[in-house]
């Protein structure tokens, strides 16, 4: 069999994924959550998706918890993770109004900063449902929204995901596009960093204690804040009940240029640690959070 050219293969895979995910996105909410329950059974009980890694992460983060408590968090995490998958797929067909009924956005801080003409840097994390949180900010604030994102290996999936992210005017900036990050929009903008990701270059990372272990964090947000003097907001996503969330936003720094080196990143790590501790089942534990050690 002749192999398809890369571009044609991409188009074929993209078309299949768009049709398949679009069909799922048309399901009513109750249908989506039935699908999520089936997905959970397959992921957790059949293929054991990253179960050893998740258990190790939870045990590392919460050594004071009993085996029963860890197991309860573990199972609920997988259920929430499966909900996140189907809830994200729903964005292919949902409207901002529909998602707004299920996601309460804290806009007090943003309204004040926008009225002052300030540019904002938001530090958030992989708390469920982060795709809803980023998407709906465009609908509930007046800022020009910019999201710093990691380029995916699967080009078809990246194209699909980015389509719904930019549908209502969001600007996407690859994490390696330093020039794009440093260039301010004409109107007040909010630049969103998923600041809990492992940095690709550990040599330039900020190392600090996180749940009892030293780990690297990105310094991009802090560097930008200190050079530009932008306001910094920390955002926590809270799962209210199944399919319903709210964001809690905190103005961490009025002017990043007035901070010392490491101050912003350290404050965010402490904020994240407290946030994850409140709802540990609502954070993405299937990544290897303690993968790297500092090289001497």
| Residue 3 pLDDT > 60 | no
pLDDT over threshold 80, residue 213:
yes
Q: Which two tokens stand for residue 204?
A: 């330039």
Collapsed DSSP state (helix, strand, coil) of residue 279:
coil
d(CA 143, CA 136): 12
Given a cut of 60, whether residue 2 has pLDDT beyond it is: no
Mean pLDDT over 219-235 rounds to 95
Given a cut of 90, whether residue 276 has pLDDT beyond it is yes
Q: Per-residue pLDDT for 254 more than 90?
A: yes
pLDDT at 7: 54
What pLDDT score was predicted for residue 1? 38
**254 and 118 in contact (C-beta within 8 Å)?**
no
Size (the chain), residues: 296
Predicted confidence at residue 187, as pLDDT, reads 87
Please compute, for residue 91, the number of CA atoms within 13 A of its CA located in the half-sphere on the CB side. Answer: 25
Confidence of residue 202 (pLDDT cuts 50, 70, 90): confident
SS3 39: helix
Q: What angle do CA 248, 250, 252 make, to 5 degrees?
A: 155
Record the tokens describing residue 182, joined without a space: 């440093």
Q: What is the mean pLDDT of the chain?
A: 89
Q: What is the mean pLDDT of residues 9-16?
A: 71
* Residue 11 binned pLDDT confidence (cut-offs 50, 70, 90): low
Confidence of residue 78 (pLDDT cuts 50, 70, 90): very high
pLDDT for the residue numbered 197: 82
Strongest mean pLDDT among 117-131, 154-168, 183-197: 117-131
Name the strand (E) or helix (H) holding 223.
Answer: helix 220-228
| d(C-alpha 117, C-alpha 196), whole Å | 28
Q: Specify the pLDDT at position 116.
A: 95
Mean pLDDT (whole number) for 215-244: 95
- 90-99 pLDDT tens trace: 999 998 889 9
Residue 8 is predicted with a pLDDT of: 52
pLDDT beyond 60 at 265: yes
**pTM score of the predicted model:** 0.90
Percent of the chain with pLDDT over 90: 65
∠ Cα 215 119 170 (to 5°): 80
Task: Check pLDDT > 90 for residue 4.
Answer: no
Per-residue confidence (pLDDT) for residue 174, from 0 to 100: 83
Q: What is the Cα–Cα distance from 76 to 40, expressed in whole angstroms?
A: 10
For the cut 50, the answer to whether the pLDDT of residue 46 exceeds it is yes
- The pLDDT assigned to 283 comes to 97
């Amino acid at each position: 069999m002749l192999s398809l050219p890369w571009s044609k293969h991409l188009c074929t895979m993209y078309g299949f994924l768009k049709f398949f995910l679009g069909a799922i996105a048309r399901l009513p909410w109750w249908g989506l959550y039935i699908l999520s329950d089936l997905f959970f059974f397959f992921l957790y009980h059949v293929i054991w998706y990253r179960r050893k890694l998740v258990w190790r992460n939870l045990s590392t983060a919460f050594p004071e918890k009993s085996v029963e408590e860890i197991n309860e968090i573990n199972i609920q995490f997988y259920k929430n993770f499966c909900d996140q998958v189907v809830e994200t797929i729903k964005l292919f067909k949902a409207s901002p109004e529909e998602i707004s009924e299920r996601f309460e956005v804290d806009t007090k801080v943003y309204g004040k900063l926008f009225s002052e003409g300030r540019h904002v840097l938001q530090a958030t994390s992989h708390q469920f449902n982060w795709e809803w949180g980023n998407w709906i900010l465009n609908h509930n604030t007046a800022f020009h929204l910019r999201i710093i994102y990691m380029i995916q290996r699967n080009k078809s999936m990246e194209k699909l995901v980015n389509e719904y992210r930019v549908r209502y005017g969001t600007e996407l900036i690859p994490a390696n596009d330093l020039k794009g990050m440093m260039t301010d929009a004409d109107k007040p903008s909010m630049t969103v960093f998923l600041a809990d990701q492992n940095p690709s270059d550990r040599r330039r990372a900020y190392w600090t204690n996180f749940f009892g272990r030293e780990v690297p964090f990105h310094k991009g947000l802090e560097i930008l804040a200190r050079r530009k003097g932008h306001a910094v907001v920390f955002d926590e996503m809270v799962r209210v009940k199944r399919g319903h969330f709210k964001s809690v936003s905190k103005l961490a720094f009025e002017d990043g240029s007035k901070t010392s080196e490491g101050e912003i990143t350290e404050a965010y790590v402490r904020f994240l640690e407290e946030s994850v501790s409140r709802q540990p089942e609502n954070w993405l534990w299937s990544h290897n959070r303690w993968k790297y050690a500092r090289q001497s």
